[in-house]
């Protein structure tokens, strides 16, 4: 039997599943909620990439912007590979029926922060949803792919000695319908679980983003890289009684401008025209379209200086009908709160958005240990992986592209190097464990964790606060370990255990850094 298990049903997981099934592999995709409850499904902006293979100038410009955004620590070889392979992989998406917006015979391209050109394909303001729709439909009609929703991966199964170098033999997972732990033996496991936005109080991520795959791989001996680089999206809509809702950067690509409270008053006194003057110009000559690290930090600083809960995204100097046509989902969401594109200023603030670091992987997505050897049978693709593409700050809309390029590379590697596994995996150690009755303490611990990460491991950091976070994370680790040893797993317990571990590695990486770069900004290092 050479079954492949893919954990996660976002773009990376489903794209890899289709490639593996095309090569005759039996694939099981497990996902915590429904297939569509992924970060991908929530992606608004789009997918960056030059489709025309002969457009050397366009590709070079994409490479240059990616390297500049990554603040000097991208892997230039990886950036080149991803940009070069973009055209073929985007054509793969087109061939399974993804409908990107057209402008006559050509694609309609948009621009986001840090891009010097329009090179982002999109499906209005719901690109991820459209990609996920086409992928899910293809997966559903493929007899070699089995989807298992409501299944939470808990841990990777290794051979008897538990040495990472022995390789992965499958996974243990919690059936969320029955509450029973199950064993899925596998020749190889692809982790495609996305990020960990749920570590912070405000996030643009869905509730499933709890760092599960990352934590599982760390426990199995994986090395992680660049964990301090957490990208906060500058413009999440903040209105009472609603979770932060992403307002795509493409809106600023169309001319939207960020103002602070004073800037908004002055703009109104001026009569609202012709061009609002952004406070971001104090931080970058690119103003509201500077790279995300700069814009988010500027917003954070302005809010802390003035005590305001938000800054303002202004679009009333733009053509309102065109905006509403291009961003219909955002308009619909705004209308629920009495707001509208091209009319009302939008209250926005930064929210945790994307994990730039992740599992250390090679050019084929194989997960590496600290000495540089790979863990046989284990791959990491999508947001969970750190390929070197994003450096210290991901360029907007580069992540869907990186996900499909590396999903295909990992699938190809596995097809060319099959691992045969005939073993039935060991059963989960359930003997003597008790059913967890008290859920409230776990909820409190999760609140404490989120508060700690928000206050002490956010956009702007300092050593004393990072050390305080470390102490709190140590306490939480002890507490969760104790419960873990004696209780049967529940979703809350599994997720909390994973979040505490991922929060710990993020904090450790932030403490160890002696230089500010990209998304890591410690005021003690200025």
Residues binding ligand SIN (CB under 6 A): 43-45, 112, 248-250, 354, 396-397, 399
CA distances from 181 to 149, 155, 216, 397, 421 (A): 14, 11, 15, 37, 21
Whole-number Å distance between alpha carbons of 154 and 218: 12
Number of residues in the chain: 526
- b/e for 52-74, b at 16 or more Cβ within 10 A? eeeeeebbebbbebbbbbbbeeb
Rounded to the nearest whole angstrom, what is the least distance from the CB of residue 398 to ligand SIN in the complex?
Answer: 7
Residue whose CB is less far from ligand SIN, 45 or 244: 45
Pick the closest to residue 213 from 17, 419, 499, 434 (CA basis): 499
Cα torsion 109, 111, 292, 44 to 10°: value is: -40
CA-to-CA separations, 50 to 63, 126, 398, 418, 507, in angstroms, rounded? 10, 20, 12, 32, 36
Residue among 244 and 376 whose Cβ is closer to ligand SIN: 244
**229 or 267: CB nearest ligand SIN:** 229
Nearest distance in Å: CB 121, ligand SIN: 12
Nearest approach in angstroms of CB 140 to ligand SIN is: 26
Taking the CA atoms of residue 243, residue 248, residue 252 and residue 253 in that order, the dihedral angle to the nearest 10 degrees is: 180
Residue showing the smallest CB distance to ligand SIN in the complex: 45
CB of 487 to ligand SIN, least distance (A): 37
Q: Which residues, other chains included, contact 402 with Cβ-Cβ below 8 Å and sequence gap of 6+?
A: 82, 382, 387, 389, 390
Question: Closest Cα partner for 186 from 19, 429, 424?
Answer: 424
Q: Which of 89, 119, 252, 292 is catalytic?
A: 292
H/E element holding 376?
strand 374-380
Of 93 and 147, which has the nearer Cβ to ligand SIN?
Answer: 93
DSSP letter string, 136-184: HHHHHT-TTEEEE-SEEEEEEEE-TT--GGG-EEEEEEEETTT--EEEE
To the nearest 10 degrees (0 to 180), the angle between helices 11-22 and 127-140 is 30
Which residue shows structure tokens 């209105």? 239
Specify the residue, 154 or 208, whose C-beta has the smaller distance to ligand SIN. Answer: 208
Smallest distance, ligand SIN to C-beta of residue 347, A: 17
State the minimum distance, in angstroms, from the CB of residue 513 to ligand SIN: 23
Q: Is the CB of 38 or the CB of 44 nearer to ligand SIN? A: 44
Q: Which is nearer to ligand SIN, 193 or 397 (CB)?
A: 397
Residue 482, phi then psi, degrees to nearest 5 = -60, -50
Cβ at position 194, least distance to ligand SIN in Å: 12
488 vs 203: CA distance, rounded Å: 29
Nearer to ligand SIN, 402 or 421 (CB): 402
- The answer to whether residue 34 is catalytic is no
Distance CA 65, CA 58 (A): 11
| Least Cβ distance, residue 469 to ligand SIN (angstroms) | 25
Integer-rounded Cα Rg, in Å, for the chain is 22
Catalytically active residues, by annotation: 292
């Amino acid at each position: 039997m050479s079954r492949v298990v893919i954990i996660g049903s976002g773009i990376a997981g489903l794209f890899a599943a289709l490639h593996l099934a095309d090569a005759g592999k039996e694939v099981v995709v497990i996902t915590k909620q429904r297939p569509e409850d992924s970060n991908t499904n929530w992606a608004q902006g789009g997918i960056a990439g030059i489709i025309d293979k002969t457009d050397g100038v366009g590709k070079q410009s994409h490479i240059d912007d990616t390297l500049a955004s990554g603040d000097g620590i991208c892997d230039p070889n990886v950036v080149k590979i991803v940009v070069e392979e973009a055209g073929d992989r985007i054509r793969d998406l087109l061939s399974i029926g993804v409908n990107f917006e057209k402008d006559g015979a050509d694609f309609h391209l948009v621009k986001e922060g840090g891009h010097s050109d329009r090179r982002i394909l999109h499906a209005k303001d719901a690109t991820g949803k459209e990609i996920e729709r086409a992928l899910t439909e293809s997966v559903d009609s493929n007899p070699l792919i089995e989807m298992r929703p409501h299944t939470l991966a808990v841990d990777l199964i290794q051979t008897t000695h538990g040495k990472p170098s022995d390789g992965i033999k499958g996974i243990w997972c919690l059936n969320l319908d029955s509450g029973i732990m199950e064993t899925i033996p596998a020749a190889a496991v692809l982790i495609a679980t996305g990020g960990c936005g749920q570590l912070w109080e405000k996030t643009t991520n869905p509730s499933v983003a709890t760092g599960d795959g990352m934590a599982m791989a760390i426990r199995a001996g994986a090395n992680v890289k660049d964990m301090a680089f957490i990208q906060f999206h500058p413009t999440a809509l903040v209105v009472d009684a609603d979770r932060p809702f992403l307002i795509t950067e493409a809106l600023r690509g169309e001319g939207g401008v960020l103002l602070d409270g004073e800037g908004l008053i002055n703009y109104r006194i001026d009569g609202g025209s012709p061009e609002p003057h952004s406070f971001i110009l104090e931080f970058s000559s690119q103003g509201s379209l500077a790279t995300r690290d700069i814009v988010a930090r500027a917003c954070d600083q302005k809010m802390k200086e003035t005590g305001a809960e938000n800054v303002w995204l202004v679009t009333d100097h733009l053509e309102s009908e065109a905006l509403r046509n291009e961003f219909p989902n955002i308009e619909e969401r705004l209308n629920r709160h009495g707001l509208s594109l091209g009319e009302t200023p939008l209250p926005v603030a930064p929210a945790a958005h994307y994990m730039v670091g992740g599992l250390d992987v090679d050019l084929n997505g194989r997960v590496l240990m600290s000495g540089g050897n790979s863990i046989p049978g284990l791959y990491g693709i999508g947001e969970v992986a750190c390929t070197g593409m994003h450096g210290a700050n991901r360029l907007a809309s580069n992540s869907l592209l990186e996900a499909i390029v590396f999903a295909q590379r990992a699938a190809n590697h596995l097809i060319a190097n099959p691992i045969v596994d005939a073993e039935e995996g060991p059963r989960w150690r359930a003997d003597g464990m008790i059913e967890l009755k008290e859920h409230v303490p776990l909820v409190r611990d999760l609140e404490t964790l989120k508060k700690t990460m928000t206050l002490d491991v956010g956009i702007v950091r300092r050593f004393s606060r990072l050390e305080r976070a470390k102490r709190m994370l140590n306490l939480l680790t002890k507490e969760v370990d104790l419960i873990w040893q004696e209780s049967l797993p529940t979703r809350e317990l599994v997720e909390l255990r994973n979040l505490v571990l991922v929060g710990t590695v993020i904090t450790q990486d932030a403490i160890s850094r002696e230089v500010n770069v990209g998304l890591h900004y410690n005021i003690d290092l200025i």
